Amino acid sequence: MSNCLTLKKSNCKNCYKCIRHCPVKAIRFSGNQAHIIGNECILCGQCFVVCPQNAKEIVDSTEKVKVLLQTGDPVIVSLAPSFVANYDAVGINTMRKAIKRLGFFDVEETAIGATIVKNEYERMLREDERDVIISSCCHSVNLLIQKHYPRALQYLAYVKSPMQAHCMDIKRRYPGAKTVFIGPCVAKKDEAEYYEGIVDAVLTFEELTKWLEEEGIGLDVELEKEENSRARFFPTTGGVLKTMSQDMPGYTYMAIDGIDNCIAALKDIISGNIHKCFIEMSACVGSCIAGPVMEKYHHTETVRDYITVASYAGAKDFEVEQPDFSELHKSFAIIDQRSVKPSDIEIQNVLRQMGKFKPAHELNCGSCGYNTCREKAIAIIQGKAEISMCLPYLKDKAESFSDSIVKNTPNGIVVVNEQLEVQQINDAARKIMNIRSASDIVGDQVIRILDPTPFINVMQKGMDIHNESVYLAEYKRFVEQSVIYDGDSHLLISIMRDITDEQGERERREQQTRHTIEVADNVVDKQMRIVQEIASLLGETAAETKIALAKLKESISDE
């Protein structure tokens, strides 16, 4: 498979959205980065469409086409019939004028090739005595069968795609010409490279639009009608069938779109439950008008686009020169998978590492992108996924770690929401407030156990409280309380350090100090009386004694 899809590593944010939407799980995660697995990818483009960071890129072929234009050979565009939906009802004549200004020799509709392919499908039904035939227009469906459901390969129509049939027809009519297909599909780039010599380059509608804008070329709204253009229906669901006669006795004609629906049908076909069917398969839900590189891929306008295509399509076929069926033959080879299925013991070992010790632990939530925990375990063994991709695993691990801290800290912790309802209380807080069980208070108003005023002030003023001494009279406890508001989680956290014993010790020391001061006062008063009685005998010595005793009293008071 060619490198049509690339990854901007700096943009990949490890969100797993691409693997959740990848129908064949052809994405590997390593070092918190997504990597496309080439021999498993079917180029449906879903990862490109859903990536919120634009980390997936489609390789730009504009420069390659510009080089073709410089060769001097006539370069002719095969324009996919979905263009009328992408460019808001702009017809082929307007598109031809605009694109020729870029230097192209001419522009034709790929729907011409679609008519050739439709004719070959009808011949196969009449002459080849096939049981089940699956259309081969969609390269992503072809890759799906080649890579993931090779047992259904025998049912695939060995017929070139409309893009190839048209470009082959162009080269027959214009010897030496180069062909460029322009459409809404990333898979066509791979198809053109793999089957060399038919399509020389592929552009997406986005690449064309960007090029036109750079050259200042506008598009005038003009939707001309042409009777011989029924194959313009091809890019819609059931569009192939609309162009076919559907008159083979005993045959059922059906259209299936979306990879998941195609997979279900392929399983049914392989199991032998389906017979005498012609099945039109499209990888995209809504078919090509909902292709990954339709410039309006982020809108849901499939119904409106269908109406646009239907109003543009005529009632009769394009007039074509039908080549011999041998010229339209296309071979499809099985593309082997490199991944080896692990043993049940290996799977169980990984499940245990993910915290899945019994079936009840396997939530199968799909947050990692895999449908079941077992599929995720297999992907881990195959090197496609990492254990850390399991959201419940990470959540349980984080909660276990935080719960361990909250449970074992000596500080009391009470968590309340913005409605002042208790959300969590740890053992230390329950001990401080003599609460028997957390269930006795969780969900109730905090006023039942604590003064709500600090919580209200913190919310209203936006200033946290740190280490404020509070006496909880109801519990006869002194605490240092901090109240913190977490705006992201909309929660208030009260952290209380029980300082009752420290407060008691402080009061005991203060009482001892007061007693010492009283004793010192008595001593000083007694000494003063003695000093006064013998003052006449001691003279200046009495004054010095008085000063010394006063300093002793002051020192004790300071303590």
Residue 420 has pLDDT above 60, yes or no: yes
The whole-number average pLDDT for the span 68-93 is 94
Is the pLDDT at 474 greater than 70, yes or no? yes
CA dihedral 500, 504, 505, 509 (to 10 degrees): 150
Say if strands 477-486 and 465-472 run parallel, antiparallel, or are unpaired.
Answer: antiparallel
The one-character DSSP state at 322 is: P
Q: What is the pLDDT of residues 242-254, one digit of tens each?
A: 999 999 999 999 9
Round the average pLDDT of the chain to a whole number and report it.
88
DSSP conformational letter for 440: G
The Cα–Cα gap between 458 and 35 comes to 47
For tokens 């080879």, name the residue. Answer: 333
Average pLDDT over residues 154-167: 97
| Surface-to-core class of residue 287, CB atoms within 10 Å of its CB (0-12 exposed, 13-18 middle, 19+ buried) | buried
**What crossing angle do the helices spanning 62-69 and 205-214 adopt, rounded to 10°?**
60
Q: How many CB atoms lie within 10 A of CB 484?
A: 13
Q: Determine the Cα–Cα distance for residues 259 and 265; give it in Å rounded to an integer.
A: 10
| Lowest mean pLDDT across 294-298, 349-353, 472-476 | 294-298
Amino acid identity, position 528: M
pLDDT at 235 over 70: yes
Q: What share of the chain is helix, strand, coil (3-state, %, to 5)?
A: 45, 15, 40
pLDDT above 50 (res 298) = no
DSSP state of 411: S
Neighbours of 291 (CB within 10 A): 30
Flag whether the pTM goes above 0.75. Answer: no
Instruction: Categorize the per-residue pLDDT at 178 as very low, low, confident or very high, splitting at 50, 70 and 90.
Output: very high
387 pLDDT higher than 90: no
Q: 539: pLDDT confidence band, cut at 50, 70 and 90? A: low
The contacts of residue 530 (CB under 8 Å, 6+ apart) are none
- What is residue 239's predicted lDDT score, i.e. its pLDDT? 96
Q: Which of 57-66, 196-205, 355-364, 433-442 has the least mean pLDDT?
A: 355-364
Please give the average per-residue pLDDT across 92-113, as a whole number.
96
**Range ranked top by mean pLDDT from 75-84, 355-364, 535-544:** 75-84
**Of all residues in the chain, what percent carry a pLDDT higher than 90?**
61
Q: What is the pLDDT of residue 8?
A: 79
Q: Which residues of 486-498 are buried (b: 16+ CB within 10 A; e: fewer)?
A: eeeeeebbbbbbb
CA angle 309, 310, 316 (to 5 degrees): 110
Instruction: Tell me 14's DSSP state.
Output: S
In DSSP terms, 329 is beta-bridged to 159
Tokens 């008519």 sit on residue: 115
Report pLDDT for 340.
78
Percent of the chain at pLDDT exceeding 70: 91
Average pLDDT over residues 179-204: 96
pLDDT bin (cut points 50, 70, 90) of residue 548 is low
**Of 62-66, 326-330, 542-546, which gets the smallest average pLDDT?**
542-546
**Would you place residue 357 in the very low, low, confident or very high pLDDT band (cuts 50, 70, 90)?**
confident
The residue written with tokens 């109003």 in the block is: 311
- For residue 54, the model assigns a pLDDT of 85
